[in-house]
Structure 1
Amino acid sequence: MSMFGGGFGGPGGGPGSGPMGGLSGVGAGRGTRRTGDTLPFAGVPDELAAGVRRLEDAEPEHGVPEDRFGHRPPEGPALSLLSLLTRRRGVFLAACVTILAETLLLQAGPYLVQVGIDHGIVARDLPVLLWSAGAFTAAVLAGWATTTARMRQTGALAADAMRHLRVRVFAHLQRLSMDYYTEEKAGVIMTRMSSDIESLQQLLQEGLAQFAVQGLTMVVVTAVLFHYDAGLAAITLLLVVPALFAASVWFRRASDVGYARQRDAIAAMFTDLAESLHGVRVVTAHHREDRNIAQHRTVVGRYRDANDFTGHISAIYGPGTSVIGLLGMAALLLIGGRMVLRGQLSIGELTAFVLYLNAFFAPVQQLVQLYTNYQQSRAAVAKLRTLLGQAPTVAERADPVELPPVAGGIVFEKVVFGYDPARPVLRGVDLRIEPGETIACVGPTGAGKSTLAKLVTRLHDPDSGRVLIDGHDLRDVSLVSLRRQIGVVPQEPFMFAGSIRDNVAFARPGASEAEIWAAIDAVGLRDLVERTDAGLDATLHERGQSVSSGQRQLLALARAFLAQPRVVVLDEATSNLDLRSELRVEQALDRLLEGRTALLIAHRLSTAMRADRIVVLDESGVVEIGSHAELLAAEGRYADMFATWSRHR
């Protein structure tokens, strides 16, 4: 087999060299394993082992996650910050209590300073001075303890909420139909799962708690100020609160626009990056690097502009609130100082008043930054809510029928379908496939061959008409029971990062090693797999890039063998193989298709000739149906295609 060149990925195959090419060995020695690009990891060093064991012993039990996937979206409240915070009500209430205690303890200091000045220093009473100093120290230590407890509670709350949100978003992405992934860019989806959720994590872990502490501080301080002197408090606050309120309203409106632009710019940046990385071979082959860099510079520039805008409005709002606060402090010193001179206010009370007013304005500076984080998270929640509100177009019914083991009879009844409903790909298709029959679909590109296969696997639903298996409308049966009985081998098979064992057993994770080897034998890969020290545990790199396209196709066929489906859909499974390999695979296909219904998407007429019947499609729909001999005798569209193919093969 020249395509293998002595091993996976060798000359004539894919990237890499030597046995299995870029596949990494496993188990290079005692306590050693290899990860990634054959980088060795020799385990935990002996001098660190004891510490690792202590950490493991201290790790709390989290229990077994009870995540269950369903094709129907779970019922529950819409995504919001409140719904994330109240998932664990006990932890949420404990966090609220510690936040309240922390706020009150933080504001005990100015009162104790006033007591120490008026009743200790002015009255020359040393015990009172010592008592106030001791109480101040105790309040600081108690504040430290409550802050620690609050951070533990909010940290646990944020960790649980983020785990739940990540699983919820990921499960919904698994639930969405193929048309969503056709229309949406991969970089945008990655942004939802990474940047958007991370901004929420920062807010939930510390931001909202600080927001509550600082907000409560302003409320408590306002009450204390009015307790000391209502007139002075009213005058001081009336000078600053309206200005602060007006500035905050402006900042909120401007930041809403700015952070929405920022989220969109991040998504565009991820999209461009993902596309360039996935297409790196094409970029290199066509010397596109300079133009790609220029394009990425433009995309990053939009993100920079969005950051500049949000930075500009923050630069106006932050210093502006500082100026307002300092002007209020100056007014307080002037008015309060005159009241002290008149004997209407003690020095200690004025000192406490100044400290409390400073405590009123100090949170404003932190609230500016916290509000910035809140706005970013609010924009992220809006994006995530939109994603979670996206309904799958191929929806499972509320009470689906469990599809029993099928014989494999497939019927298309007056099927009309178009990816754009205004431009149908299939128009009124009527087709009956008998159980155990092999049907090949041929025709020009865009005629709807692959679309028929997608309708059988229910990746799409017809716009009108029905698709049935053994008399069951596919829209009435559960997706699990349907897809469990259908095996698919695409033209460009996908390999996941992991071992050969994991990829072959993808559809049947519980398959025994003997069953996996039987599937490997069926496609003739045993000798090649055994050339590696790791065997079935040899690592396939991301998307199977460590093996050639032909080898990926053989592994995909082995995966289909192991799944043992009742219906097999093959999208030109031999198109990437050389002639010798094609013969071996076709022999294996004969074994796979024996007794099973098969739908072959055939680009090579040599594949179509092996089918029981051939369906010829063009832009107008199905134009001919019959065996190879019958269609040649009819001297129609298929006969013309066969004559052209015969002249050029």
Structure 2
Amino acid sequence: MSEDAAENLTSGSGDAARRLLRELLRPWHKALGVLVAVVLVENVARLSIPYLVKEGIDVGIPPIREDDDLGPLLLVVGLVLVATLSQALARHRFLLMQGRIGQQVLYQVRRRVFRHFQALSPAFHDTYTSGRVISRQTSDVDAIYEMLETGFDGLVTAALTLVGTAGILLFLDVELGLVALLCGPFLALVTNWFRTASARSYRVTREKVALVIVHFVETMGGVRAVQAFRREPRNQEIFDDVGDQYRGASLVAFRLVALFMPGIRLIGNVTIAVVLLYGGYRATQGEVTVGVLAAFLLYLRQFFEPMMEISQFYNTFQSACAALDKLAGVLEQRPGVPEPEDPEEVDGIRGELRFEHVGFHYVEGRPVLPDLDLTIPAGQTVAVVGTTGAGKTTLAKLATRFYDPTAGRVLLDGHDVRRLAGDTLRADVVMVTQENYLFSGTVADNIRFGRPDASMDDVVAAARALGAHEFISAMPDGYDTVVANQGGRLSAGQRQLVAFARAFLADPAVLILDEATSSLDVPSERLVQRALRTVLAGRTAVIIAHRLSTVEIADRVLVMEHGRVVEDGPPAVLAARSGGRYADLHRAWEDSLA
């Protein structure tokens, strides 16, 4: 599946985005009510100042001329100071509350997205790259916070200013107010154009920045392969291209703003000029006072300021809507292996695995396992061999419930794995893969990955049992040595031993090794072979391997072809069978050693 197709599948509808926003803000509805009240107080105080200026000119100055009475003017000045102080205090309160609410919402979004990404099945992550995951957790979440941080304030302030200013203008003088509001249709026309155009522009911008992040993450994550195959020039070309696409999309957005903001300013200045001309004429005729005209000019300036801010609000709003759309699309994805609504209670798993008429396909019409019947008794070590595409790894993925069968059942001690809680299944069925992924943290942290509460004595005991204690102790800080860059400083064999120690400490009833030794050299493989006997003792084990040296320790070998078991028996018996498939594989392996 292409990146664009994967993105389209995980893009939510507009309704889903709005629903997500409502869910995020629902716990804060009371606090948001208080926030609106605080913004209301701030804007009432701000809108009162031009009116008080008008009162100071028309009511406060005449008594000074007539009786040298400063009282009325001082009263007006005092009210201006009170309004200014009220505005400042309300602003301070607003910023504190907005910051607290915004950070809490941001925290909940990140937790929710992270939890959901972990719950989604490997089938989802096979098509949704790590770069897009990072884009959702970083730029998209930040876009939502930017809207909460500035968008709410800008929207409420703009609405109160526009409505409040229009009302006050008409209250001061209806005729002059109507002249001032003649700009309304022009403002609506320009604003509607900008709203429509910016919606398209910012959606494209979010898509392009995601492409930049995806390519950067994938290139840096696979930098060894990039350098090994001298891929740097081509990757640079691709990055330059997606970067140029992002630049172009951003320039379109800037051009829209560059047209919108001067357009609003032009309409505002023309309106102010018309009001000044007409109002000045009426003032000379004694129809309006100088204070009213001054108040009109001050209010008109306030009237157009929020229109300028609306451009920035639309920027953040459209960016946040695009981000919400992406996040809602991801959060609407249902896990391919959902948790059972009423999980079965189990106690003391022995480890018997049974596949009853199991069918499975990744692509409709192309079965990987057509009809598999297989029983692995508890405590038995079974090796699964066969050509690439025979269904070996699929068998492991079904046993660990990374996928669910499309037909039949997978049973653990007689319990359908679909009826077991995820925690129960993961505690009793563990798979070790050839990647041997080591996480950021210390060596000890990586060993106790499956048992975070394990003591240091338990960690050391597991490492000793697997033969890893010596090389770990020889490291600069021993078990406290920080593993960086996925364990890149450890050899493949050392990483494998740490992974085995992790599995040994987790102590599952069923352990599945999927090509766990395929990337090792011969000395490392011999070291791991000794550890394997310790790891597998006393538990059910399924070993998927190409190297038949690993198969020698198995009680039983399954040879698979085209999703079917074509041979089943002890390795020595199958190796001695003339004309058998395992015998041919064994002979070819021995020849390769020679």
The amino acid that maps onto 2:480 is D
Separation of aligned partners in 1, 2:60 and 2:569 = 108
Separation of aligned partners in 1, 2:212 and 2:414 = 48
3-state DSSP of counterpart to 2:363: coil
Separation of aligned partners in 2, 1:223 and 1:82 = 31
Q: Does the aligned pair in 1 maintain the 2:500–2:535 contact within 8 Å?
A: no
Q: Does the aligned pair in 1 maintain the 2:517–2:545 contact within 8 Å?
A: no
Q: Is the counterpart of residue 498 in structure 1 residue 438 in structure 2?
A: no
Runs (5+) with no aligned partner, structure 1: 1-75
Residue deviations 1:99-146 (CA, integer Å, cap 9, x gap): 111010111110111011111224434221222122212211221111
Q: Is the counterpart of residue 103 in structure 1 residue 43 in structure 2?
A: yes
Find the counterpart in structure 1 of residue 152 from structure 2.
208
Find the counterpart in structure 2 of residue 387 from structure 1.
330
> RCO (CA 8 Å, sep 6+): is it higher in 1 or 2?
1
3-state DSSP of counterpart to 1:424: strand
Separation of aligned partners in 2, 1:79 and 1:400 = 30
How many pairs are equivalent?
A: 573
What is the CA-CA distance between 1:364 and the residue it aligns to? 0.6
Find the counterpart in structure 2 of residue 196 from structure 1.
140
Find the counterpart in structure 2 of residue 352 from structure 1.
295
The amino acid that maps onto 1:203 is M
Find the counterpart in structure 1 of residue 360 from structure 2.
417
Instruction: Name the structure with the higher helix share.
Output: 2
Q: Does the aligned pair in 2 maintain the 1:491–1:573 contact within 8 Å?
A: yes
Which of 537, 541, 566 aligns to 1:623? It is: 566
Written as runs of structure 1 = structure 2, the 5 A alignment for 1:564-579 is: 564-579=507-522
What is the CA-CA distance between 1:452 and the residue it aligns to? 0.5
Find the counterpart in structure 2 of residue 265 from structure 1.
208
Separation of aligned partners in 1, 2:491 and 2:549 = 23
Find the counterpart in structure 1 of residue 78 from structure 2.
134
Find the counterpart in structure 2 of residue 587 from structure 1.
530
3-state DSSP of counterpart to 2:288: coil
Written as runs of structure 1 = structure 2, the 5 A alignment for 1:112-127 is: 112-123=52-63, 124=65, 125-127=69-71
Q: Does the aligned pair in 2 maintain the 1:318–1:368 contact within 8 Å?
A: yes
Residue deviations 1:206-230 (CA, integer Å, cap 9, x gap): 3312321222111111111111122
- 1:343/1:78 Cα in 2 relative to 1: closer, same or farther (>3 Å)? closer
Residue deviations 1:218-253 (CA, integer Å, cap 9, x gap): 11111111111223222321x211111111221111
Runs (5+) with no aligned partner, structure 2: 1-15
Q: Does the aligned pair in 2 maintain the 1:442–1:615 contact within 8 Å?
A: yes
Which of 561, 572, 581 aligns to 1:637? It is: 581
Q: What is the TM-score with the length of structure 2 in the denominator? A: 0.93
Q: Does the aligned pair in 1 maintain the 2:443–2:479 contact within 8 Å?
A: yes
Separation of aligned partners in 2, 1:81 and 1:413 = 45
Which of 227, 244, 257 aligns to 1:301? It is: 244
3-state DSSP of counterpart to 2:389: coil
Which of 140, 144, 156 aligns to 2:100? It is: 156
Find the counterpart in structure 1 of residue 187 from structure 2.
244
Which of 333, 352, 361 aligns to 2:276? It is: 333
Q: Does the aligned pair in 1 maintain the 2:17–2:328 contact within 8 Å?
A: no
Written as runs of structure 1 = structure 2, the 5 A alignment for 1:68-107 is: 79-107=19-47
The amino acid that maps onto 1:327 is V
CA RMSD of aligned residues (A): 1.7
Comparing 579-588 and 136-145, the one that deviates more: 579-588
Find the counterpart in structure 1 of residue 415 from structure 2.
472
What is the CA-CA distance between 1:496 and the residue it aligns to? 0.5
3-state DSSP of counterpart to 2:450: coil
The amino acid that maps onto 2:583 is A
Residue deviations 1:173-227 (CA, integer Å, cap 9, x gap): 1111101110012111111000011111122123312321222111111111111
3-state DSSP of counterpart to 2:41: helix
What is the CA-CA distance between 1:628 and the residue it aligns to? 1.8
What is the CA-CA distance between 1:525 and the residue it aligns to? 1.8
Q: Does the aligned pair in 1 maintain the 2:496–2:528 contact within 8 Å?
A: no
Separation of aligned partners in 2, 1:82 and 1:345 = 48
The amino acid that maps onto 2:211 is A
Find the counterpart in structure 2 of residue 648 from structure 1.
592
- 1:198/1:448 Cα in 2 relative to 1: closer, same or farther (>3 Å)? same
Find the counterpart in structure 2 of residue 22 from structure 1.
none
Separation of aligned partners in 2, 1:185 and 1:611 = 37
What is the CA-CA distance between 1:634 and the residue it aligns to? 5.4
Residue deviations 1:565-587 (CA, integer Å, cap 9, x gap): 10010113233334344333223
Q: Does the aligned pair in 2 maintain the 1:421–1:463 contact within 8 Å?
A: no
Percent of aligned positions with the same letter in both sequences?
A: 39
The amino acid that maps onto 2:47 is Q
Q: Does the aligned pair in 2 maintain the 1:87–1:161 contact within 8 Å?
A: no
Comparing 312-321 and 619-628, the one that deviates more: 619-628
The amino acid that maps onto 1:592 is V
Q: Does the aligned pair in 2 maintain the 1:154–1:205 contact within 8 Å?
A: yes
Q: Does the aligned pair in 1 maintain the 2:466–2:535 contact within 8 Å?
A: no
Find the counterpart in structure 1 of residue 7 from structure 2.
none
The amino acid that maps onto 2:168 is V
Written as runs of structure 1 = structure 2, the 5 A alignment for 1:31-70 is: none
Find the counterpart in structure 1 of residue 12 from structure 2.
none
Q: Does the aligned pair in 1 maintain the 2:143–2:319 contact within 8 Å?
A: yes
What is the CA-CA distance between 1:77 and the residue it aligns to? 11
Q: Does the aligned pair in 2 maintain the 1:409–1:434 contact within 8 Å?
A: yes
Find the counterpart in structure 2 of residue 517 from structure 1.
460
Q: Is the counterpart of residue 322 in structure 1 residue 265 in structure 2?
A: yes
